Amino acid sequence: MTKHSFAELFGSAPELRVSAPGRVNLIGEHTDYNGGYVLPTVIPQQASIELARRDDRIVRVASVNVGESEPFEYALGAERPRHDWTDYVQGVTWALRQEGFSFGGADLRIESEVPLGSGLSSSAALLVAALRAFRDAYSVKLPDVPLAQLAKRAENDFVGAPVGIMDQMACSLTAGGQALFLDTRTLHYRLLDLPPAMELAVINSGVAHQHAGGDYRTRRAECERAAATLGVFQLRDLTADDLPRVMTLPEPLGRRARHVVTEDDRVLAAVAAIEAGDAEELGRL
């Protein structure tokens, strides 16, 4: 695949280059959209964007990962989903406009090392990087937590993927060697230094997934049905004392609810292990 430079694509040099990392979740699977606790960390692979401002309201964007030689072009205010990778950039400018931020057009070149569809938050890394690019280019006042929330809004409301907030917060806030302990309901968080003795191995299962459809959407809907049946706002509101009641639910709703209750407890135990410097206990969990 030929990787065209920014100058080859747009005829000039970029003004800035930004990036955002992918992430892997240590503990806290399928808890973020249930209002629970999560404990992700970031990986070395990054999504990078080069940008040059324009003096009009046109956005031109190219991704070297898809091998297209011609940039995709659209006008600010005319964003329309195409159901491909361009929706993530269009979603960013759409979300920025929805929040009332002032900014102009731009040329963007995207290059990502984060494997696509591998559960490593390639989409969140791209969204966070794109928001950083526009923030830095146009001096948009957008701190890291609101930036993550805006990335989630773009993915939920423009791309159409019913994701939680974990991925965007991890990509926006976390540095290498840290874990992000996040309460996804309140967005209170702590950055924890991982034990020096800890080494992380991430294995690609080869199974691709999509947040916008398939099993992810189904599982989220099952969790919402379980919460409604149990009379709680979210499964986060259950405790271990509720497990006997949880297991009266028809399957798979019972399994879904039990998982969230026990997984939240595992996150809290993992945080305690990290704070104690106990890599062995963290590995056991």
> For the purposes of burial, counting CB atoms within 10 Å of the CB of 4, is it exposed (0-12), middle (13-18) or buried (19 or more)?
middle
CATH fit for domain 15-193, picks 2.70.98.30, 1.10.10.10, 3.30.1490.440, 3.30.230.10: 3.30.230.10
Output the pLDDT for position 212. 58
Output the pLDDT for position 213. 57
Q: Into which CATH architecture does domain 215-284 fall?
A: 2-Layer Sandwich (3.30)
Q: How many CA atoms lie within 13 A of 270 on its CB side?
A: 27
Contact yes or no for 39/161 (Cβ under 8 A): no
pTM metric for this prediction? 0.92
Low-confidence ranges of the chain (pLDDT < 70): 1-2, 208-214
The verdict on whether 167 is a catalytic residue reads: yes
Q: Which residue among 32, 87, 107, 167 is the active-site one? A: 167
Question: Do 15-193 and 215-284 have matching folds?
Answer: no
Q: What is the DSSP string of the chain?
A: -----HHHHHSS--SEEEEEEEEEEEE-TT-GGGT-EEEEEEEEEEEEEEEEE-SSSEEEEEETTTT-SS-EEEETT-----SSTHHHHHHHHHHHHHTT-----EEEEEEE-SPTTSSS-HHHHHHHHHHHHHHHHHT----HHHHHHHHHHIIIIII-----SHHHHHHHH--TTEEEEEETTT--EEEEEPPTT--------S----TTSTHHHHHHHHHHHHHHHHT-SSGGG--GGGHHHHTTSPTTHHHHHHHHHHHHHHHHHHHHHHHTT-HHHHHH-
Output the pLDDT for position 1. 59
Output the pLDDT for position 40. 97
Domain ranges of the chain: 15-193, 215-284
Output the pLDDT for position 261. 95
